[in-house]
Structure 1
Amino acid sequence: MSEAPKRVTKRRVLLFGRGSHQWEESCPILRRYLKTIPGYEVDYVKEDLDVFTAERIEPYNLIVLFNTGGQLTVEQKRGLVEGVAAGKGFVGCHGAADSFRASPEYLAMIGGEFQRHPATREFIVSLTDNKHPVTKDIKGYEVKDWEPWPIFEYKVYDEQYLLDSDPRVHVLATTTFRGSLWPVAWVKPWGQGKVFYTILGHHPGVVREEFFKQLFIGGAKWAGGKQPYRKPKTDRYDII
């Protein structure tokens, strides 16, 4: 007797693009990634910040923000921040930490704020938690003649955001700059909602990279899923 097919839970996703960082090229790539997740139905909205008002954001289970700069009205801010607190998921890429900076509630929700960056360059990203639901499917690699211990480090060519971040976030990946560790991706709760953020995504080239794709899809699956936030057993990273 064959097994009954698994029931797929439908989840409505709002993908929002605006600002800079070639969002008009990167957002369609993100949309394709989101559509690979079973049950995810994606609406792509360009530039219309009123989509964050309580009435318009209400149908969505997950908000994906590819935005830089701008300001939110009181109604837009309340709809977004309170919507996530009520249980919606949130995914922010790159400039999402350089957005809506006059709204401290938004910055508290995302967990950090952009400060500066060196020139776009190649740097190494290291996974610090490869057991989390966001990162567990990202493949490591093995070095010939070593013991079979996979290495979870990846070269990226991107704008290396350096942020002030909430020390309570759970960091999933880090990089180094001038001798200090800096977060590359993290998760955190916001009320009943789940938040995933990564500094990556400055240009479409990095958005097309396999490491970014796996990290983004993992973050979107986790943030948009029905399971509540579970505090990780350990935090392996200290903010410097």
Structure 2
Amino acid sequence: MTRTAIVVRGGWEGHHPVEATEVFLPYLRAEGFDVRVEDSPEVYADADRMAATDLVVQSVTMSEISDDAVKGLRAAVEAGTGLAGWHGGIADSFRNSADYLQLVGGQFATHPSKHPDELRGDETDNYLTYRVTMTDLGREHEITRGIEDFTLHTEQYWVLHDDLIDVLATTTHPVQPYHPWHRPLTSPAVWTRLWGRGRVFVATPGHSVEVLRDDEVRTIIERGMSWAARTR
């Protein structure tokens, strides 16, 4: 049976939603998904269409969403539709909606920047070299099994989250003399969430297409999409 995936992309252009999602369309098709692309989250309000959807891949940073669309997304996930995404396309979407934030289980708070003397006034101000560390669960989970800890040079997400997520990988924000916080903070970098009969997958790396093409990042996202999709 052919499965259906909806790729929803839009929002802030700084995360290149079209180019970023294009990276993964060949994988989805190779995995047997009939892929449809939407440029608005309002498709979530179409109950019949969502009921026939096995996977939603979302890349919509910030932006806004209607109450009907949020209700539709939540109902679909509860009924078994998978939800997957990366970086701000899922973890910094729809800040106006508490119901959306509860569904995803984690929300971008900031990405610490370089030393003040190194700031240039462009996006590279927030590019740091950091480590993504697998948890014990992550070393056994099908999404991240066999992937060793790895290093990236890109935005390092500081995430606010709840205890209903299953964390597969973390990243730790150190304390620098120019920071106002007083001890290192560990944030989830990859997590899953069970919601009703549905599954949610989030990876926080993915600021640029270059990062998405990193071997470890791409593998994690591809496996995460497959894991999240409805099982029939």
The two structures have a TM-score, normalised by structure 2, of: 0.83
Amino acid in the other structure paired with 1:103: S
Alignment of 1:83-102 (within 5 A): 83-95=76-88, 96-102=90-96
Q: Does 1:182 align with 2:178?
A: no
What residue ranges of structure 1 are gaps of 5+ in the alignment? 1-8, 140-151, 228-240
Question: For the Cα contact (< 8 Å) 1:135–1:172, is it kept in 2?
Answer: yes
User: CA 1:65–1:85 in 2, change beyond 3 Å: closer, same or farther?
Assistant: same
Q: Does 1:124 align with 2:131?
A: yes
Matching residue of 2:223: 218
Q: Provide the aligned C-alpha RMSD in A.
A: 1.5
Q: State the shift of 1:123 in Å.
A: 1.2
Aligned equivalents of 2:153 and 2:11: distance in 1?
A: 21
Amino acid in the other structure paired with 1:160: Q
Aligned equivalents of 2:38 and 2:30: distance in 1?
A: 19
Amino acid in the other structure paired with 2:141: H
Matching residue of 2:42: 50
Aligned equivalents of 2:186 and 2:158: distance in 1?
A: 10
Q: State the shift of 1:215 in Å.
A: 0.2
Q: State the shift of 1:52 in Å.
A: 1.1
Matching residue of 1:22: 16
Aligned equivalents of 1:211 and 1:220: distance in 2?
A: 14
Matching residue of 1:238: none
Deviation track 1:103-122 (CA, whole Å, cap 9, x = no partner) reads: 11111110111111121222
Matching residue of 1:133: 142
Q: State the shift of 1:212 in Å.
A: 1.1
Structure 1 residue ranges (4+ consecutive) displaced by more than 6 angstroms after TM superposition = none
Aligned equivalents of 2:226 and 2:41: distance in 1?
A: 24
The two structures have a TM-score, normalised by structure 1, of: 0.80
Aligned equivalents of 1:67 and 1:159: distance in 2?
A: 17
Aligned equivalents of 2:48 and 2:97: distance in 1?
A: 20
Amino acid in the other structure paired with 1:55: D
User: CA 1:68–1:41 in 2, change beyond 3 Å: closer, same or farther?
Assistant: same
Amino acid in the other structure paired with 2:140: K
Structure with a larger share of its residues in helix:
2
Aligned equivalents of 2:86 and 2:201: distance in 1?
A: 9
Amino acid in the other structure paired with 2:86: C
The percent identity for this pair of structures is: 31
Q: Quick one: which of 167, 172, 175 aligns to 2:168?
A: 172
Question: For the Cα contact (< 8 Å) 1:58–1:83, is it kept in 2?
Answer: yes
Q: State the shift of 1:225 in Å.
A: 4.3
Question: For the Cα contact (< 8 Å) 1:31–1:44, is it kept in 2?
Answer: no
**Count of aligned pairs:** 204
What residue ranges of structure 2 are gaps of 5+ in the alignment? 113-125, 175-183
